[in-house]
Chains A and B, each alone.
Chain A
Amino acid sequence: MSTAKVDRRVAHSHHFDSMEQEHESGKQGVWLFMATEIMMFGGLFVGYFIYRMKYPEAWVEGGSLLSWKLGALNTLVLLFSSFTMAQAVTETMKGENKKALNLVMITTLCAFAFMVVKYFEYSGKIHHGLFPGLDIWDPSAVQNEGTRLFLLFYFLMTGLHGFHILVGVGLMFWLMKRLKNDEFSPKYYTAVEGVGLYWHIVDIIWIYLFPLMYLI
């Protein structure tokens, strides 16, 4: 575009009529995108439940292979990160970009902590031949044949979730750069709010994954 870059803190983009209209549009776009995320993970949850009904013993065995302590730790980490993210949005709305920057930084550290725990969980599984493919799979490591399917769903669902965490980290760095440059104002904070929404959805998906995989 040839149009000069607008200062989003005080002005709206060329094709909108007002800053409020632009903010509302952005927010609705993020919500719709969240709907697609839920439909996508929804497919995996449906698959999980269907095979859970088909292979109940395998699902019990699969759950017992996972460490509920590590899962619980990660749940706490994510819940805390959702809190700091929500606070970051509030601070940006008040115009406190510096405070928001610190809060986003804490959120990012939580995301890293989550991935470190996940790394130890994954590598433990791979070490014990419990990754269900790529010549790593060791059939003698489990009693039920269906457990391999459980582990596939475990790796696919937590893997896709982990991918979303990593995307979230990327978004956090983008936010930190913009917060550092003081690009937001009480009238313009769409990006922070949008990433916040995204982060909460990623968190909520984990809230469902944790009991389904580790506890029941």
Chain B
Amino acid sequence: MADTTVVDNHSSHSSGKDYLNESSGIWSWLTTIDHKRISVMYIYSIIGFFLIGGLFAILMRLELMTPEPLFMDGDTYNKAMTFHGSIMVFMVVVPGIPALLGNFLLPIMIGAKDVAFPKINLLSWYCLIFGAAVAILSLFFGGVDTGWTFYTPYSAKSAGAVSMVVLGAFIMGFSSILTGLNFIVTIHKLRAKGMTMMRLPLFVWSLYATAIIQVIATPVLGITLLLLTAERVFGVGIFDPNLGGDPVLFQHFFWFYSHPAVYIMIIPPMGIISEIISTFSQKTIFGYKAIAFSSLGISAISFLVWGHHMFVSGQSPVAATVFSVLTMLVGVPTAIKLFNWTATMYKGRVSFATPMLYALSFLSLFTIGGLTGLFLAAYAVDVHLHDTYFVVAHFHYVMLGGAIVGMIGGLFYWWPKITGKMYDEVLGRISALLVFVGFNVTFLPQFVMGSLGMPRRYHTYDGIYSAYHMTSTIGSWILTLGIFIAFYALYKAAKSGEKAPMNPWNGTTLEWTVPSPPPHENFDTVPTVTGRPYEYR
């Protein structure tokens, strides 16, 4: 245990009040500034967005089952693709883990009563919801067919409701900035007595590394989208070469945010995995400092690699070579993490509960995603693979197989703490298995067809790819089934699960020293920390 002076394990159950029943009514939720309630609101809204974004994905996969158009024309397909991408990126994976699990856990894990700025925390939820509403409503104003990257000059001319989606993304950017700002200050200023930086749980370290990127990179996306909107409204050629602008500048601006943004998406699940693997191996995490600092290393390098998205854009070969080498550097801190996780399991008492199954899925899927990332980082190889399904498969291995699988694993791991109820272990394990199998059936064939030349973003294709596409579509059904079972297991637990004990997994971080669910201000007695986490043996 993180040796703490929390006296009585059962004291706060005496009042029978916890953060969930401390007050009631919808208004008490919509105006709450309790980080735990805000986190629950994020969980519901982000799962909602995930289902909408997933619906578009399923429809696209269905359309791609045959080489000929099945039920969508090209225009509809482009819109479905854009909405799938925009929703998943801006509303699910970017806000995802920091907002829905970080909000709940960060203050408890460092022994604080709340985040530093509770009202700003609530504001960031409203920014997400408002921005998402603007972006999704654009569906009824012609939709958008530019892809989630809004590449110019097409996005400057496209007839759709580009400005609306761009405005939505702009507003959601504030949500991300405010969350990041809040977390940095909370980690610096609100740690309990004795909670030194080197005693922080690794999930907190990952949130810290993420928050730095959120604060520094997101404003650049804001200004990029503002320039794009100015170009659309005023008709001045900032990015349109016909009017004297430079379309590659847009790509530079866009990826200066959007590449670091993929580390906003992947560093937090890495933190979750560190927690789960240590707990379910009942063993001290191997290489605590290496894991903590590799998170910071990833966020530092993340700002120097954006040019690898632009190897075929006409940027100078010298720049491309430098970006290529820098990109491969990301592999170093990432591999450090993977080796440390593996070493943690070595000679541990590994148990295969649902969170651990998701963590193991993460390890294998993320490794494939990361290694294929090295292929794409190689300048010469990328010229061949650029804009093919190889890229699609690569980022789905990282974003879905990494970020979302890590997020679902984290939800299972902390669900007893959040809801105070235990989930059904059998359902959980079935879901983990189906997600793992379905995911690979969906995306492994895409590596093959991508390397054979199947371009991305097309709704029809040559017959030689049909077997791969068919397999991929069938895989998407298995994956969907797995995800639905996972959500059903969580829902069923919240509705009618057995009462969860304070520390069902024998975890060592502070959240396992408070009742499930925690009381309104987290701790009856503010803890004093006297040791590092993960001190199993």
Contacts and interface: CB of A to CB of B under 8 A. Distances in A.
Interface residues of A, number: 38
A55 interface: yes
Interface in A65-86: none
Contact of A14 (B215, B219, B521): B521
A209 to B, nearest CB: 15
B234 interface: yes
B452 interface: no
A47 B521 contact: no
Contact of A149 (B120, B189, B223, B236): B236
A16 B114 CA distance: 9
B6 interface: no
Interface stretch (B177-185, B280-288, B360-368): B177-185
A37 B177 CA distance: 11
B230 A156 contact: yes
Given A15-B112, A47-B249, A40 B220 contact: yes
A20 B186 CA distance: 14
B227 A47 contact: yes
Interface string B216-246: 1111101110110010011111100000111
Contacts of A44: 223, 227
A25 interface: yes
Nearest to B184: A32
A94 B117 CA distance: 26
Given A24-B189, A25-B185, A156-B227, A39 B219 contact: yes
Interface in A33-58: 33, 35-37, 39-44, 46-47, 50-51, 54-55
A29 B185 CA distance: 6
A24 B189 CA distance: 8
Interface in B187-205: 188-190
A28 interface: yes
B117 to A, nearest CB: 6
B307 to A, nearest CB: 15
Contact of A36 (B177, B234, B237): B177
A133 interface: yes
B72 interface: no
A63 interface: no
B123 interface: no
B116 interface: yes
Given A35-B215, A43-B219, A47-B249, A149 B185 contact: no
A47 B526 CA distance: 50
B253 interface: yes
Contact of A1 (B33, B177, B216): B33
A133 B189 contact: no
A28 B118 contact: no
A44 to B, nearest CB: 6
B113 interface: yes
A25 B224 CA distance: 30
Contacts of A41: 223
Given A133-B233, A133-B234, A25 B116 contact: yes
Contact of B236 (A15, A24, A133): A133
Dominant SS among interface residues on chain A: helix
Interface residues of B, number: 44
B506 interface: no
A43 B220 contact: yes
Interface in B104-129: 112-118, 120
Interface string B321-340: 00000000000000000000
Nearest to B34: A1
B21 interface: no
A2 B22 CA distance: 11
Nearest to B113: A15
A200 interface: no
A149 B114 contact: no
B117 A134 contact: no
Contacts of A138: none
A15 to B, nearest CB: 4
26 contacts: A15-B112, A15-B114, A15-B115, A17-B526, A25-B186, A28-B189, A29-B117, A29-B120, A29-B182, A32-B184, A32-B215, A35-B216, A36-B177, A36-B215, A36-B218, A37-B219, A39-B220, A40-B223, A43-B219, A43-B220, A44-B223, A47-B253, A50-B249, A55-B244, A133-B234, A152-B230
Interface of A: 1-2, 14-17, 21, 24-25, 28-29, 32-33, 35-37, 39-44, 46-47, 50-51, 54-55, 132-134, 145-146, 148-149, 152, 156, 160
Nearest 5 CB-CB pairings of A with B: A133-B234, A43-B223, A40-B219, A15-B114, A39-B219
